[in-house]
Structure formats: C-alpha cells, structure tokens
Amino acid sequence: MKKKVLITGIMGQDGAYLAKFLLSKKYKVYGAYRRNSNYENNRLRRLGIEDKIELIDLEINEFTSVNYVINKIKPDEIYNLAAMSFVASSFDQPLYTINTNFFALINILEVMKNSKKKISLYQASTSEMFGNSTKKSINENTNFDPASPYGISKVGSHYLVRLYRKAYNLDCCSGILFNHESPLRGEEFVTKKIIRQLCEILNNKRKIMYLGNIYAKRDWGFAPDYVEAMWKMLQIKNKDDFIIGTGKCYSIKEFINKTCKYLKINIKWTGKGINEKCINLNSNKAIIKISKKFYRPLDVNHLKSNPLKAKKILNWAAKTNLSAIIKKMCDDQISSFN
C-alpha cells in the first residue's frame, strides 16, 4: 500500500517542492489549504504536479476541522508547513502569526495524541528562533533568542513538539531550517525581490529598487535540497531535531554583488547608511537606494548554521551553493519575461 502524507501549507514554496519529492517516492499526497485564503496553486502548476495531489480544505485553527481531516485521511506522515512566514509582516500581525504558527500545531498534536494509528509529524522550525544569538555558528545546542513575533511563535511550536515527544512518546520532530530560496520563493523575501527587480532593471522595466538593511547576513540554501532533509528526519527511528543549513553566510550586499556579476551589470557602491547607493557604471545612474521603509523594528543581523549533526545522522548536506541558486533564480526570472 502507498504511504499517505498530509502536507499543510501545500501552496507555499516548501509545500510544493516537498509534494514533488514525495510523489517521486511514491507517496499518496494530500495537500491542505485554506479555502478562504487567496487560493493560488501556481507553484504546484509550475512544478507540473497540480493534478497529482488531492487538495483538502483545512481550517488549521479549528480543532474540529483538523480532527476531521486527519481521521479521514489517516496519514502515515504529516508535514506542518502552514505558517505566516514573513518576518516583517509578523511585526504588523503578531496575533495572526501566533495563532497560525503556534495554536494550530496544538490541534495537530492533540489529534495525534488521541489517534490509534501511529502518525509521524515534521514541524517546520526556523533559524529565526536564534535571533541575535552571539554565536558565530549555530548548532542544536545554541540557545534561542527570537527577535520577532514570527521567531517567538516558532520557538513556542518547537517546544510543543519536544513536549509531546517526551510526555506522550509521539513520533514527532522539528527541522530548524535556515533560509532557503528557489525560483518559487515568495516575492516579499529579499533574494526574490533583488533578483526580480534587478532583472526588471536589466530589461528596462524598472529604473530603481529600494532595500532596507543590506548588512544583514544569511545562510542561504536551496529549497529542493532542504525538503529532502525534512523527509530524512521522518525516516529515522529515534526522532530528534536537526539544524539544516549550508554552514556559509553572506550579506545582502554580497548577494547583490553576486547577482549583478551573473547578470553582467557593472556596479559600484557609494555613500553610507541611509545614503548608500548602488550605481550602474554603464548608465552612471543609481539602481539601488536604501529606504527606511524596509527596516524592521528589530532585525537579525547574522545567521550561520553548523549542520554537522544532519551530516552525521541523516547523511544530509546542502548540494547547491549560493552562486548556483542565484543562477537558477535569475534564469527563471528572465524566462518569465519572454
């Protein structure tokens, strides 16, 4: 019999790549989405899998809805990827963020606790839980210090999973994923924004772009590599939590420099702070300026993983480096203009 999997957040970047990966492993894939959300299966369509997934209407904040769906499907595995995942918006919508990211998980765990069938759960934890940790590189023993409502909601969920694993022996774990990008990345995230807008500038569709803190550093990996790690975590017997990242980090400014190099835009940086600018040397015009609008009330300045435990126990390591990710995202963006 085919293994059955329920993915919450199926319409997101990770939901779509994970669904594709699990279809290749011959799973029967059920994808949960909110009927009243801006239902948009563009990503599933782009991966050519929209007809292969059974979409299920799920109100993740309603216990009765979660209970009904899980008992009807009786999945072997659940991947809880549904979340309000944009850090900047979590400052504007803290209640919504904590409701979606924290309280909804209690519904899933309670249903699992009462289920006769053994169900395994993967919970999407995040590097944002570490906030401005002073550690140069972060491993599973690093203390949490979240710096946003999003980070706080995810720390809470992380501890919930641990609690249910220890107290009720549930088969559940959390993957602490560092930033992961791809052509399917949401438009609001900085990598996708930079690539889209620089490609637009290159194609004379835009003159200038505005960014916030370009000195923040992130450990950027490739989303399709990371969904395999999620699956590997659910295949080991003694469930545990794992850091998933590349072990390298770059600033937003370095990301811009690499992208401009790939797109063959010759640039130089001038000015400081809010007056810093990126000049296109061909036109001598500024193509990037800094705007306060994109600064956050509190930012996370440095995130770099130490993914050694995942290497040792899961035999997982990131395969795609940042230059390769930039190439894939730029090529996809340029082809979307044609």
Q: Phi, psi (5° rounding) for residue 177?
A: -90, 130
C-beta closer to ligand GDP: residue 181 or 225: 181
Of 20, 154, 196, 218, the one binding ligand GDP by CB under 6 A: 218
- Min dist CB 105 to ligand GDP, Å, is 19
Count the Cβ atoms, other than its own, within 10 Å of residue 161.
Answer: 23
x/- letters, 30..49, toward ligand GDP (CB under 6 A): --------------------
x/- letters, 103..142, toward ligand GDP (CB under 6 A): -------------------------x--------------
Burial of residue 141 (number of CB atoms within 10 Å: 0-12, 13-18, 19+): exposed
Longest alpha-carbon distance in the chain = 68
Count the Cβ atoms, other than its own, within 10 Å of residue 312.
Answer: 9
Q: Using CA atoms, how far apart are residues 32 and 10, in angstroms rounded to an integer? A: 6
Please answer whether residues 230 and 173 qualify as being in contact, where contact means their C-beta atoms are separated by less than 8 angstroms: no
- Token duo for residue 337: 């203009």
C-beta closer to ligand GDP: residue 120 or 127: 127
Beta strands in 87-190 (DSSP E): 120-126, 171-177, 180-181
| 128 counts as catalytic | yes
- Token duo for residue 138: 């972060």
Q: Is 294 in the site for ligand GDP (CB under 6 A)?
A: yes
Q: Is 244 in the site for ligand GDP (CB under 6 A)?
A: no
C-beta closer to ligand GDP: residue 110 or 254: 254
| 142 counts as catalytic | no
Count the Cβ atoms, other than its own, within 10 Å of residue 12.
Answer: 22
Please answer whether residues 308 and 140 qualify as being in contact, where contact means their C-beta atoms are separated by less than 8 angstroms: no
- Min dist CB 177 to ligand GDP, Å, is 10
- Min dist CB 136 to ligand GDP, Å, is 17
Please answer whether residues 17 and 224 qualify as being in contact, where contact means their C-beta atoms are separated by less than 8 angstroms: yes
Stretch that binds ligand GDP, among 1-9, 29-37, 208-216, 264-272 (CB under 6 A): 208-216
Q: Please name the residue that has the structure tokens 């959300």.
A: 37
Residue type, 27: Y
- Which of 150, 191, 259, 320 is catalytic? The answer is 150
C-beta closer to ligand GDP: residue 154 or 239: 154
Of 206, 296, 309, 328, the one binding ligand GDP by CB under 6 A: 296
Q: Is 299 in the site for ligand GDP (CB under 6 A)?
A: yes
List the strands of the sheet with 285-290, edge to edge: 209-211, 285-290, 277-280, 267-270
Question: Which 3 state secondary structure label does DSSP give 25?
Answer: coil
x/- letters, 247..276, toward ligand GDP (CB under 6 A): -----x------------------------
Residues lying near ligand GDP in the complex (CB under 6 A) are found at 87-88, 128, 179, 188-190, 193, 211-214, 216, 218, 252, 294, 296, 299-300
Q: Which residues are marked as active site?
A: 126, 128, 150
